[in-house]
Amino acid sequence: MDSYNKKNFSSDQDIKWCPGCGNYSILKQVQTILPEIGFPKEKIVFVSGIGCSSRFPYYMDTFGLHGIHGRAPALATGIKLANPDLNVWIITGDGDGLSIGGNHLIHLLRRNLDVNILLFNNEIYGLTKGQHSPTSKLGFKTKSSPLGTIDNPFNPLSLVLGAGASFIARTTDRDPKHLREMLLRAQEHRGTSFLEIYQNCNVFNDGVFENFTEKSKKVNQTLYLKQGELMRFGSKKQYGIRLDGIYPKVISLQESSYSFSDIWTHDENDRTKAEILTRFFGTPGYEKFPRPFGVFYKEERPTYDMLFHDQISLAQKNHPMSLDILLSGDLHCKI
Amino acid sequence: MIFKKILEQVTILFAGNSGDGIQFIGRQFTNTSAFLGNNLSTLSDFPAEIRAPRDTLAGISGFQIHFGSVEITSPGDFFDVLVVMNAAALKKNFPFLKKGGKIIANTMGFTSKSLQLAGYTPDVDPLKELYDYDVYPLDMIGHSHKLLQNFNISQKDKEVAKNMFALGFIYWLYSRPLGYTEYCLKQIFKKNTKLLQANLNVLRAGYNFGEISETERFIVKSSNRPSGIYRNVTGNQSITLGLATAAIQAGLNLFYAGYPITPASDLLNYFASYKNLGIKSFQAEDEISAITSAIGASYAGDLGVTGTSGPGMALKQEGLGLAFMLELPLVIINVQRGGPSTGLPTKTEQSDLLQAIYGCHGEVSIPVLAPSSPSRAFTVAFYAAKIAIEHMTPVILLSDGYLANGSELWRFPKTYQLDTICPPFLKNSKNYSPYQRDEIGVRRWVKPGLAGYEHRIGGLEKEDETGNISYDPKNHEKMVKLRQKKIDFIKKKWPKPRIDSGKKTGKLLILSWGSTYGIVRAAIKILLSEGKSVSHSHLEYIYPLPNGLDTILQNFKKVLIPELNNGQLIHIIRDQFLIDAIPFSKIQGIPFTIFEIVEKVREII
């Protein structure tokens, strides 16, 4: 197992994503972390639905199942319940996971099946050549919204936290180091890990996340979350987030009487605070807040696959049954 | 000792408000009769609402049982006995009571208000006008109240117990023991001794009422079937047992995923109760997730199974296509109900046959099986799983509401008597390719976990053998034909079609499929006794059509195809054999009656 390297996880298939697509970076980081996680590759399964991101399994030299649009969580549920020893990854996108497959996604999260979800969010339908997605910003003009969209986008992390996710985190394709760290954290978590990856579609929605990826802009507009550390950002870390009751505020350490003790310390285990953090989404009232990246929330709770198999084992132990007894029923007659 | 008259067969209908426990007492009487070794056939007919408006014709729930010592293949056209809880139940079912039949009536259900709701003249008690019938007006509620006056239970519980009085009395009338029902009540009211005692008291009071009533009693002897051990089984139950048995026989775990839907919910309920057998059951968030998670389970090496009815089947079409494209085993049960759309959720129909055969987009070919009776459902479900596993394909099992809730006596097999099932797992292959096929066109089933055989499969068209994505025009055509050929091969495994009753040649052949079997068989018996030149052949293995059916059809001048739809099998038969078969449709949400079939045949020959 120790002898695995990145190459061991590259399949022999030609990669057919557009040159410059953010997916390459994600593929590379996934292939890099897998040798480290200690799973033999025959026990790793990549499952996907439909969309650019969903071609991912074909490029991994593990077991892989490219399913139907939005249904990867359902496929993964069957796989994990059939064989809980498998290490299962769901690769999905904003259209696949949040639109056509939204129902499966929220139910997977509430059940807390022990799988990892990587949601590649590029705020566009790429494979169908540029229609607005459920994460496209309000007013966004696309082929299917020539006058701009009139439907509010989902706030994915807010949605999944509401659905009962036990691990939520955000990263980008442009920050390989952070991406790698988040992949490892997601993999480490027992239960459903939800990792949103801001992914640039350089053909149909180029630069949609540049505020959070371009060096000059990101410094004032991103907040990197670290467990137990103060929430500070800015070129000189001069800004901080302060909680005023239940209301967050951006404060400047330079221009006021605030000190470090006024700044909020990140606690991944605090659900209420995680809910506040997910609202840093540029929506009215939150325009001035930086976009958080990192692990927002994690919680240890029993996984669905464990509970599922425990019930079966317990029933088999407490009320053992043989097929012959089941067939004969509790009432029969001799003729 | 009172003289008991021996009867060969009896048909009883229990009817009352939905909520009166009609289905419960019907099943109790059925299981007790099965315990005595009677042949039997039952029919449940209930409203889609849990508590439909009381005492109205629309709110009547009915349970019909035809039992006897002679062959019984249908629930019977006419009743010998009506057990009615109110006037509406009498009004609705009286036309089907045989002349001189018995009416056991709950008198409190005949108040002037109830009479009015049922459409009778409010002040005239119809029970007193039925001179040619054997009427037993029983004050069931009065008896219950009197018996339970010192019981500290609610007024409502005392009233509900009235069905036990009716059951006790009818047990006495047909000389049945109370033991099974007493056992069941003890299970149900394990934690409420008061309600247990109350129900037991009323049941026994109904029985004792018979003892002092100086009424004529009857005996229906046990069946003349081959000796063996038998039990009662419903269609839904039988399917779950057949599939569980097949999985165990194949050495696989069974993964059942379902979403609650009438009349298929019992499949999910039964599988959920087989946890102690190692069966995995999963209540999915929707029908789509149910089939897709079952596909995931099959991919990972379990036998994936999903079940549903009408609207749910429509939602599963996309998943069916995926399972067919991946070439993984999967069993899909469709307990058909009246459609389209929500249609008639609690009523029976055979209107999803064409959907089963032609439903998916693209060139898809999925084997379709339809059991002919509740007990046959075990065997047919077993073979559906065997075909799915050994041929790596989804298989559709078409049941229906009548079959699902109907029950009959079943001689259950011992596990050592069962056919083998061999999953096509990979055995030592150096040059493995995911879509390499054996001589019958089947690929190997390689589940995740097998080191050195990591591979990717999906819904995109694949290159022959390697399974790599391919958009090559010629390859696509080749793959479509290869997949079709694989399914066509299955017909060689089907049992040869045969004549069920009647001669091998003649004027008319009735070709039936699915749950109409028993009724057609009973009709043929009458027609043959009249000297008619008529025969019966029945299809359980419908797609691909079995070899040899053409020879059977050619030996008759005419072919009649009765179906509970607007004509579906007939299209397939006309298409395949170019014969001018005669359709016979019934689309009323209820099975054919024997009389309807007999009359239709008399009309033709």
Cross-chain Cβ contact B282/A47 below 8 Å = no
Test the B interface: residue of A1, A325, A328, A335 with most B CBs within 10 Å: A335
User: Is A37 in a helix, a strand, or coil?
Assistant: coil
pLDDT in the model for residue A254: 86
DSSP notation for A152-214: PPP-HHHHHHHTT-SEEEEEETT-HHHHHHHHHHHHHSSS-EEEEEE---TTTSTTTTHHHHS
Both tokens of A58, joined, read 């074909």
Q: Are residues B54 and B142 in the same domain?
A: yes
Cross-chain Cβ contact B34/A63 below 8 Å = no
Cross-chain Cβ contact B277/A323 below 8 Å = yes
| Residues of B whose CB is below 8 A from A324 | 414-415
CB B205 within 8 A of CB B161: no
User: Is B408 in a helix, a strand, or coil?
Assistant: strand
**Which regions of chain A are under pLDDT 70?**
1-2
pLDDT in the model for residue A1: 46
pLDDT in the model for residue B45: 86
- Indicate the residue among B158, B188, B220 that finishes a domain: B220
Nearest to B296 among A43, A79, A320 (CB): A79
Both tokens of A197, joined, read 């990856």
pLDDT in the model for residue B1: 52
- Indicate the residue among B178, B199, B220 that finishes a domain: B220
Fold observed for domain A6-213: Rossmann fold (3.40.50)
Q: Are residues B108 and B45 in the same domain?
A: yes
DSSP notation for B486-546: HHHHGGGGSPPP-EEES-SSEEEEEEEEGGGHHHHHHHHHHHHHTT--EEEEEESEEESPP
Return the CATH number at B399: 3.40.50.970
| Residues of A whose CB is below 8 A from B241 | 326-327
Q: What percent of chain B has pLDDT over 70?
A: 100
CB A112 within 8 A of CB A302: yes
Nearest to A74 among B31, B293, B413 (CB): B293
Average pLDDT, chain B: 95
CB A235 within 8 A of CB A219: yes
Test the A interface: residue of B289, B332, B433 with most A CBs within 10 Å: B289
Both tokens of A100, joined, read 């056509």
CB B205 within 8 A of CB B165: yes
| Structural domain boundaries, residue B205 | 4-220
| Residues of A whose CB is below 8 A from B31 | 331
- B281: nearest CA in chain A? A308
Q: Are residues B215 and B235 in the same domain?
A: no
Nearest to B255 among A61, A66, A81 (CB): A81
Q: Are residues B235 and B214 in the same domain?
A: no
Q: Are residues B177 and B31 in the same domain?
A: yes
pLDDT in the model for residue A2: 53
In a domain, B533, yes or no: yes
Cross-chain Cβ contact A82/B286 below 8 Å = no
In a domain, B270, yes or no: yes
Cross-chain Cβ contact A328/B412 below 8 Å = yes
| Residues of A whose CB is below 8 A from B39 | none
Q: Are residues B207 and B288 in the same domain?
A: no
Residue-wise pLDDT tens digits, B530-552: 999 999 999 999 999 999 999 99
Both tokens of B271, joined, read 């599988």
Return the CATH number at B593: 3.40.50.920
Test the A interface: residue of B454, B462, B466 with most A CBs within 10 Å: B454
Cross-chain Cβ contact B458/A79 below 8 Å = no
How far does the CA of residue B535 sit from the closest CA of chain A (Å)? 30
Tell me: pLDDT of B480 over 50. Answer: yes
Cross-chain Cβ contact B277/A103 below 8 Å = no
- B32: nearest CA in chain A? A331
Nearest to A333 among B36, B322, B447 (CB): B36
Residue-wise pLDDT tens digits, B410-452: 999 998 999 999 999 998 778 899 999 999 999 999 999 999 9
Cross-chain Cβ contact A83/B447 below 8 Å = yes
- Exposed, middle or buried by CB within 10 Å (0-12, 13-18, 19+), for A160? buried
Average pLDDT, chain A: 96
CB B581 within 8 A of CB B559: yes
- Indicate the residue among B154, B185, B220 that finishes a domain: B220
- A314: nearest CA in chain B? B276
Cross-chain Cβ contact A329/B231 below 8 Å = yes
* Residue type, position B452, single letter: G
Q: What percent of chain B has pLDDT over 90?
A: 89
Cross-chain Cβ contact A65/B457 below 8 Å = yes
| Residues of A whose CB is below 8 A from B414 | 324, 327
In a domain, B483, yes or no: no
pTM over the 0.80 mark: yes
What is the mean pLDDT of the segment spanning B47-73?
90
Lowest mean pLDDT among A187-196, B59-68, B148-157: B148-157
- A74: nearest CA in chain B? B293
Q: Are residues B188 and B264 in the same domain?
A: no
Both tokens of B215, joined, read 């009424």
Cross-chain Cβ contact B276/A42 below 8 Å = no
Residue-wise pLDDT tens digits, B347-405: 999 999 999 999 999 999 999 999 999 999 999 999 999 999 999 999 999 999 999 99
In a domain, B479, yes or no: no
Return the CATH number at B38: 3.40.920.10
pLDDT in the model for residue A288: 93
Q: How far apart are CA B326 and CA B333, in angstroms?
A: 19
Q: Are residues B15 and B130 in the same domain?
A: yes
* Residue type, position A206, single letter: D
Q: Are residues B165 and B259 in the same domain?
A: no
pLDDT in the model for residue B155: 85
Please compute, for residue B327, the number of CA atoms within 13 A of its CA located in the half-sphere on the CB side: 29
Cross-chain Cβ contact A57/B456 below 8 Å = yes
Test the B interface: residue of A47, A325, A327 with most B CBs within 10 Å: A327
Q: Are residues B279 and B214 in the same domain?
A: no
C-alpha torsion sign, points A82, A83, A84, A87: negative
Q: Are residues B159 and B278 in the same domain?
A: no
In the block, which residue shows the tokens 């050195």? B452
Cross-chain Cβ contact B229/A63 below 8 Å = no
Q: How far apart are CA A92 and CA A196, in angstroms?
A: 10
| Residues of A whose CB is below 8 A from B412 | 327-329, 332
| Residues of B whose CB is below 8 A from A100 | none
Tell me how many domains chain B contains. Answer: 3
- B415: nearest CA in chain A? A324
| Residues of B whose CB is below 8 A from A85 | 449
Cross-chain Cβ contact B414/A71 below 8 Å = no
Nearest to A333 among B34, B294, B469 (CB): B34
C-alpha torsion sign, points B261, B14, B21, B6: negative
Q: Are residues B291 and B381 in the same domain?
A: yes
Residue-wise pLDDT tens digits, B319-337: 999 999 999 999 999 999 9
Both tokens of A215, joined, read 């060096």
DSSP notation for B160-220: HTHHHHHHHHHHHHTT--SHHHHHHHHHHTTT-HHHHHHHHHHHHHHHHHHHTTT--EEEE
- B455: nearest CA in chain A? A63
**Which helix H or strand E contains A318, and what residues bound it?**
helix A304-318
What is the mean pLDDT of the segment spanning B574-584?
97
- A335: nearest CA in chain B? B227
What is the number of CB-based contacts under 8 A between chain A and chain B?
Answer: 214
- B547-551 contacts: CB < 8 A, separation 24 or more? B547/B491, B547/B492, B547/B494, B547/B496, B548/B496, B548/B497, B549/B497, B549/B577, B550/B577
Cross-chain Cβ contact A81/B297 below 8 Å = yes
- B256: nearest CA in chain A? A78
How far does the CA of residue A327 sit from the closest CA of chain B (Å)? 6
Bridge partners (DSSP) of residue B142 are none
C-alpha torsion sign, points B222, B225, B227, B233: negative
Beta strand pairing call for B541-543 and B368-369? antiparallel
Nearest to A78 among B294, B449, B457 (CB): B294
